[in-house]
Amino acid sequence: MPEELAEKFKGGPITTFDMAEAYVEVTRQALRPKEAIKRSMDQHMAMIQHASEDYWDAAELVDLLADDIKFRVKQYAKCIAKATTNYKNWLEEEYTRNLKTALRHAFNDN
């Protein structure tokens, strides 16, 4: 994550996430591998909620985190070994869409 982007999340939840470690952890717990993606999304959501005042700030931060999301999806794809390019692209879009939806619900509930 670039320094200027990391600065936006200063003082909040941790900004690092090890997808390979999360994948190993969920598989050892006999959970579905996609649980690692959910944990990553939950961590992104906590970071964004801390740094945002409303949904529009949050949506902007999701867009700024696109490279971080892409990296995490790429790491997940390496873990599952048989991921096509189309699957990775779909997963990236799904991750972003679900993250924005969850943030919209979180900010509407407040």
What's the confidence (pLDDT) of residue 10? 86
Alpha-carbon distances of 8 from 47, 70, 71, rounded to whole Å: 9, 19, 19
Sign of the CA dihedral running 4, 105, 12, 95: negative
pLDDT tops 80 at residue 79? yes
What's the confidence (pLDDT) of residue 104? 95
In the chain, % of residues over pLDDT 70? 99
Alpha-carbon distances of 39 from 9, 21, 23, rounded to whole Å: 18, 11, 10
pLDDT band at 11; cut points 50, 70, 90: confident
pLDDT band at 110; cut points 50, 70, 90: low
Alpha-carbon distances of 110 from 38, 41, 75, rounded to whole Å: 22, 20, 33
How far from each other are the two terminal CA atoms of the chain, in whole angstroms? 29
Instruction: Label residue 97 exposed, middle or buried (CB < 10 Å: 0-12, 13-18, 19+).
Output: exposed
User: What value does the mean pLDDT take over residues 61-81?
Assistant: 95
